[in-house]
Amino acid sequence: SLDLELDDGKPTARFYCNSNCDLEPLGKGDRMYEMDEFGAVYTAGLTVFRQPEDTGYTFMDIPMYDVCAIAMAAYR
């Protein structure tokens, strides 16, 4: 979980990508947010179980496991 308070079940290692694109571990007190102005968040191990919007977000017959994603805010 990205929410440290909710992650008491099975904690996982947390990393961030520095300006040289190297993964560095986050310390227990380090914050996940705020994102840098041109930053992004990489997440691995996601499970996708819904279809796209044009299908009404219906459930997939077979979910996709271990999906990796990059998310970033739109720049204004």
pLDDT of residue 62: 97
DSSP 8-state class, residue 34: S
Instruction: With beta carbons less than 8 A apart as the criterion, state whether 46 and 36 touch.
Output: no
Confidence of residue 3 (pLDDT cuts 50, 70, 90): low
Instruction: Name the residue with higher pLDDT: 67 or 9.
Output: 67
Residues forming a β-bridge with 24: 16
Closest CA to 46 of 25, 31, 63: 63
What is the pTM for the complete model shown? 0.48
H-helix segments, the chain: none
In degrees, rounded to 5, the angle at the alpha carbon of residue 71 between the alpha carbons of residues 30 and 43 is 60
